[in-house]
A and B are shown apart, each in its own frame.
Chain A
Amino acid sequence: MGRTSIKNKLIMYFLVLLLIVIVVIEVVNQTTKDFFLAQGLSIALAMAIGTVFGIIFSRSITLRLKKLSDAAGKISCGDLTQEIQIISSDEVRDLEEIFSLMVNHLRALLIDMKNVSLKIHNTNSILKMLAKKLLQNSNEIDITAKIIAESSAKQTEIVHYTTIKLNNSIKVMDKLVQQSSQTISKADAAIKKTQKGESNAREIISHLELVLKQMSESAQPLSRLPEKVEKIKIVMNVIEAISQKTDLLSLNASIEATRAGESGKGFAIVAEEIRNMAESSKQSSKAIAKLVEDILEDNQMLKEFLTKNQSEIDKGNKIIHGIVQTFSDMLLGVKDIFSEIKSMEDATVRQAQELRSFSEHFQKLSVSASRNYDSTQKTTVAAANQKNEVKRMASAINLLDKLSKKMLETQQQFSLPEQKKQISDKPEEED
């Protein structure tokens, strides 16, 4: 439908009024003969009709404007339930449409505001709860950060102490490696000496066996000696018996010579000489017997010595065999020890390397621990700051909550159509 402006409406109304006036004047003129009267009546009727038209026309505009004014007044009081009826199609309609659009926009804005306020309120509640939790967490973080800082300090101290210990351990390990090396060289020397000892012992055994053989060969005449000496003793006994008898005979001869008196003197001298000879023979025999006894004793001693020597040599031989065996066992043992020490040295070297590597890593760990310490210090400060910030955030959230409540209270002052309100409430429920 096309728009009609007030001007056109007014022109149309004026033309219609003019036509009516013309018609009335004509009618009056036809009915009334008097000109003036007719003119007067015509003017009066024209004015009356004009006034009625004017009133009707002005009322058609002022009433609508009053409605708008009333609606604007109610809207200003927060009543947005007012509906503007758009009837005409003149310039007031534009105003009504704009006003209606404005009201709609205001409603939408209010609904949006309400939604936003509710969302803000809800979000604020969540934020409040979160802020509370955050504050608790911040407190815990702060406490934990302090504990971590203390632990980190202790850790740094321990790491430092451990680093010193580790360095000492590396020194000890280096010393151990050096000692292991020395031990290996000594074990090697011990192997060589043991081998030499074994070969010497074997040589001694061969020499000893040779000596034993020679001794056995040389002892054979010695074993025959007692028999010969026994024969000598028999002969010596015979000689002694003869000398005894001779002595006795010479004694008796002396006695007989004495009995013979002066004539027996010569015989007595002979008897005496014979007795001396017998005595000499006896003494010689005794000396020889003594010598033979000595020889026998020496021989016996020699035999005992040889027997003892033989047994001692046998024992020695056994001992040397045992020594050789011991040397062999020792050699095996020393070789085992050597291999064990060698493997121990390898293990020690590896351990030293591992310890060195561990020390390097530990140095890195030490650096990291130092950094951690710095970081924990910073974290402690940051946690404290965060706690303050969270407190400030909580106060801001409280403020925001108050503002959102105030906003809701303000929004409560506006009334909206039920249907729209319900529609507008839906997203909130959806949220």
Chain B
Amino acid sequence: MKLFVFKAKDKYIGIESEYIYRIIDDYKITPVCLTPKCYAGLIFYRGELFDVINIRLLLGYSGHLENTYDEPVENQRIIIIKWHNKKLAVIPDEIIGMIWIDGNYEGLNSYRHENKDINLIKPDYIWKKLLELSYGHH
């Protein structure tokens, strides 16, 4: 099984690779008003609209976010996730890549790989966290 691993602040987050639809960069994010701070905006990619979420802010990791998303950030990569007719675009701090893991990881929250603790999450978790948020700026 393959995990797609990226970094949010200093935490490693892993998502099953089958949910990863595409990695894009240098893409214009259109901001949307009255949305939570972690909601970066919308992108239009190949005829589809995607909500763009800053994963670090969504998961409540502290840290200063410098991006305003008014303009494309250089080398800013966006992970487009699709699952069960749902789709989402996530902005990580850094993309680590694909890792192969052996065995069953169902029920595990984390996985240790090369001395790194990778938090295993599912796209629904992100979606759920997103839905928990109230509208408007904090």
| Given the contacts A244-B25, A252-B23, A258 and B97 also touching, CB distance less than 8 Å | no
| A258 near B23: Cβ-Cβ < 8 Å | no
Does chain A have a CB within 8 A of B68?
Answer: no
Distance between A255 CB and nearest chain B CB, rounded to angstroms: 5
Distance between B106 CB and nearest chain A CB, rounded to angstroms: 18
Does chain B have a CB within 8 A of A251?
Answer: yes
Distance between A423 CB and nearest chain B CB, rounded to angstroms: 163
| B98 near A258: Cβ-Cβ < 8 Å | yes
Chain B 1-33 residues near chain A, CB threshold 8 A: 2, 4, 17-18, 20-25
Distance between B38 CB and nearest chain A CB, rounded to angstroms: 23
Chain B residue nearest to A279 (CB atoms) is B97
Main SS at interface, chain A: helix
Chain A 229-282 residues near chain B, CB threshold 8 A: 244, 248, 251-252, 254-255, 258-259, 268, 272, 275
Complex: A388 Cα to B97 Cα, angstroms: 148
B20 cross-chain contacts in A, Cβ below 8 A = 255, 258
Complex: A122 Cα to B24 Cα, angstroms: 164
| B2 near A258: Cβ-Cβ < 8 Å | yes
| Given the contacts A244-B75, A258-B2, A275 and B97 also touching, CB distance less than 8 Å | yes
Complex: A252 Cα to B98 Cα, angstroms: 10
A251 cross-chain contacts in B, Cβ below 8 A = 23, 95, 97-98
Chain A residue nearest to B77 (CB atoms) is A248
| A255 near B75: Cβ-Cβ < 8 Å | no
| Given the contacts A244-B75, A248-B77, A255 and B23 also touching, CB distance less than 8 Å | yes
Chain A residue nearest to B1 (CB atoms) is A258
Chain B residue nearest to A251 (CB atoms) is B23
Distance between B91 CB and nearest chain A CB, rounded to angstroms: 15
Residues of chain A touching chain B, judged by Cβ–Cβ distance below 8 Å, are 244, 248, 251-252, 254-255, 258-259, 268, 272, 275
Supply 7 further A-B pairs (C-beta < 8 A) apart from A255-B22, A255-B23: A244-B25, A248-B24, A248-B77, A251-B23, A254-B2, A258-B18, A258-B98
